[in-house]
């Protein structure tokens, strides 16, 4: 497809894709709203409200100022969030496949929604959903709280990591009990009946943090984890809030929802570097697509991400794979090689059945939107097959 055509299509994506029911060969899909009840304690931070660009910029400056109190030092008290949230979910089940009882439950990271996993530009190359279906797996993706078609509650007290961890764990339970499939079949009667006997948690960036937390806190809910875009390393927290260029989210977003500027988006999520054989980089149309599906984050998420320690899954015994983008600027300041050690990863997962690290060559943080994405997907599916999954 010509680049000009891809760019023209990308301009149409944002109003159409979020609510569309996808069409995938040899599979049935449903997009529906899942009510998810949670009850969890989380902190209330002393944060100035962010209602315009000036306040968003000051929020970033405060976050980067060495003498400004850090998030963990600004906890005022703890409250209990006891609510049911409407979460937009996409479930796809392949036709007559031996592995379709194994469910990939994929959680996207910051600045995206579930469309990150189901790229509609050349999906045979870029869509993780299509790749999973082609390999016989069922797959569930969803819009995290505060993104896409899911609820957008209070950005200060509600949309934080503890609530999002609780949502993911509850969704996993609902998948295992069959409740998700029952609700999905009301949206699409063509969905075949299947019991999800295995759940493979797949995360990207913030979604990796949330998936890691679930297998740490609820190790019995997961049979394996594929963690992308967030390798623990010495540069992981080096990216500064001011370099993201925060601004107040446009449109009808509530107070405290913030977004980065366009240049920061390319810097953080895309790399056009290629290796010696010419592999890697990205097509301009995929940058346009990524821009078209951008979502804000909340100031509560930013605060909780910098005050909650990284999860350590000492009780998880299933296999874990880290998928590392070689030229990931957000995670490794542009080059992930030699920035982490296997010992550091093993310390987080000391009892897993297998710990694998796959480096996706010449790829930036937004792994699904770079050339050769399907090569990386297949590396994951091959590894899962080695684990009997």
| Average of per-residue pLDDT values in the chain | 91
* Rounded Cα gap, residues 138 and 93, in angstroms: 5
Residues facing 141 on adjacent strands:
90, 106
CB 216 within 8 A of CB 313: yes
Residue 7 has pLDDT above 60, yes or no: no
pLDDT, residue 10, reads: 39
Structure tokens at 155: 């950005």
CB 30 within 8 A of CB 141: no
* Rounded Cα gap, residues 222 and 215, in angstroms: 6
Per the model's pLDDT, the better-predicted residue between 132 and 344 turns out to be 132
pLDDT digits (tens, 9 = 90+) for 22-36: 889 999 999 999 999
* Rounded Cα gap, residues 372 and 375, in angstroms: 5
CB 120 within 8 A of CB 21: no
Domain 3-7+23-386 belongs in CATH node 3.40.50.1820: yes
pLDDT-derived band at 17 (thresholds 50, 70, 90) equals very low
Q: Of 42, 37, 387, which is closest to residue 213 (Cα–Cα)?
A: 42
Q: Of 109, 100, 268, 300, which is closest to residue 193 (Cα–Cα)?
A: 100
Q: What are phi and psi of 85, to 5 degrees?
A: -110, 145
Q: Averaged over 57-80, what is the pLDDT?
A: 92
Domains of the chain by residue range = 3-7+23-386
pTM of the model: 0.93
pLDDT digits (tens, 9 = 90+) for 365-378: 999 999 999 999 99
Residue 9 has pLDDT above 90, yes or no: no
């209330």: which residue's tokens?
A: 44
Strand-by-strand arrangement of the 247-248 sheet: 247-248, 257-259, 297-298
Most confidently modeled range among 35-44, 250-259, 298-307: 35-44
Q: Averaged over 82-98, what is the pLDDT?
A: 95
pLDDT digits (tens, 9 = 90+) for 197-243: 999 999 999 999 999 999 999 999 999 999 999 888 888 877 788 88
Angle between helices 206-217 and 161-177 (to 10 degrees): 60
Angle between helices 284-292 and 3-17 (to 10 degrees): 10
């989210």: which residue's tokens?
A: 249
Q: Of 66, 110, 57, which is closest to residue 242 (Cα–Cα)?
A: 57
């Amino acid at each position: 497809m010509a680049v000009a055509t891809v760019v023209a299509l990308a301009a149409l994506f944002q109003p159409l894709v979020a609510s569309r029911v996808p069409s995938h060969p040899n599979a049935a899909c449903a997009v529906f709203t899942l009510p998810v009840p949670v009850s969890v304690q989380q902190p209330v931070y002393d944060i100035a409200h962010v209602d315009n660009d000036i306040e968003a910029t000051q929020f970033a400056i405060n976050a980067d100022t060495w003498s400004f109190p850090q998030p963990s030092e600004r906890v005022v008290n703890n409250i209990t969030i006891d609510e049911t949230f409407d979460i937009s979910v996409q479930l796809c089940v392949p036709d007559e496949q031996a592995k379709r009882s194994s469910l990939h439950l994929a959680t996207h990271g910051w600045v995206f929604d579930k469309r990150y996993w189901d790229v509609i530009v050349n999906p045979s190359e870029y869509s993780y959903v299509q790749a999973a279906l082609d390999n016989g797996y069922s797959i569930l993706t969803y819009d995290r709280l505060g993104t896409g078609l899911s609820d957008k509650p209070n950005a200060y007290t509600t949309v934080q990591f503890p609530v999002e961890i609780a949502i993911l764990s509850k969704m996993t339970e609902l998948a295992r009990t069959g409740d998700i499939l029952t609700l999905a079949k009301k949206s699409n009667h063509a969905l075949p009946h299947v019991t999800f006997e295995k759940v493979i948690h797949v995360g990207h960036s913030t979604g990796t943090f949330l998936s890691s937390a679930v297998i740490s806190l609820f190790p019995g809910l997961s049979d394996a984890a594929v963690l992308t875009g967030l390798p623990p390393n010495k540069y992981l927290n080096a990216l500064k809030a001011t370099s993201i260029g925060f601004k107040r989210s446009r449109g009808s977003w509530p107070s405290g929802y913030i977004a980065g500027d366009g240049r920061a988006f390319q810097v953080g999520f895309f790399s056009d570097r290629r290796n010696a054989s010419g592999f890697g980089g990205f097509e301009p149309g995929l940058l346009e697509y990524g821009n078209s599906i951008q979502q804000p984050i909340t100031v509560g998420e930013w605060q909780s991400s910098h005050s909650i320690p990284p999860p350590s899954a000492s009780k998880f015994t299933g296999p874990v794979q880290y998928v590392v983008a070689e030229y990931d600027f957000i995670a490794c300041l542009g080059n992930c090689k030699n920035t982490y050690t296997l010992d550091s990863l093993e310390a987080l997962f000391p009892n897993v059945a297998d710990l694998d690290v796959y480096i996706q060559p010449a790829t930036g943080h937004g792994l699904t939107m770079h050339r050769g994405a399907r090569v990386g997907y297949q590396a994951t599916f091959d590894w899962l097959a080695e684990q009997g999954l």
